[in-house]
Structure formats: structure tokens, C-alpha cells
Amino acid sequence: MGAIANDEMITAKDGQQHSWKSIKLLIATLIVSTLGDGFCGVMMAVALPNISETYHVSIA
């Protein structure tokens, strides 16, 4: 199996054609957004006790 050129088009099941460049960009976007989501979740978990204390609400 040879190397796939960046300008080669891939045909999806519905007949649409996509380039390898757009597929790589989509995968990179998914990876970055997944890491960002995890980071935001950790920030909220750390900040939640201070927020609940400031506004006098229970975490539950």
C-alpha cells in the first residue's frame, strides 16, 4: 500500500468527496476540542467550592 497524496480525494458513502487535508483538519479540530473540554471541566471542578461559598448556595 503506497503513500496517499494530499490532493487525492476520498469518496464518502453518500457520494461526497473530501480531500485528505480536510479530513486531517477535522481530526485535529476534534482532538483540540476534546482536550479543551477536559480542561474546562477541571477548571470548573476546582472553582466550584469558591463559587458556591461566594453566592451562598450548596453544591448539591
**Could you state, in order of their start, the residue ranges of all structural domains in the chain?**
28-59
- Which residues are CB-neighbours of 30 under 8 A, at least 6 positions away? none
pLDDT digits (tens, 9 = 90+) for 8-56: 888 888 888 888 899 999 999 999 999 999 999 999 999 999 999 999 9
Per-residue confidence (pLDDT) for residue 5, from 0 to 100: 55
**Which pLDDT score, from 0 to 100, does residue 52 have?**
93
Those residues whose C-beta lies under 8 Å from the C-beta of residue 48, and which sit 6 or more positions away, are: 59
Output 59 or 54, whichever has higher pLDDT.
54
Q: For position 3, what pLDDT does the model report? A: 53
pLDDT band at 1 (very low <50, low <70, confident <90, very high): very low
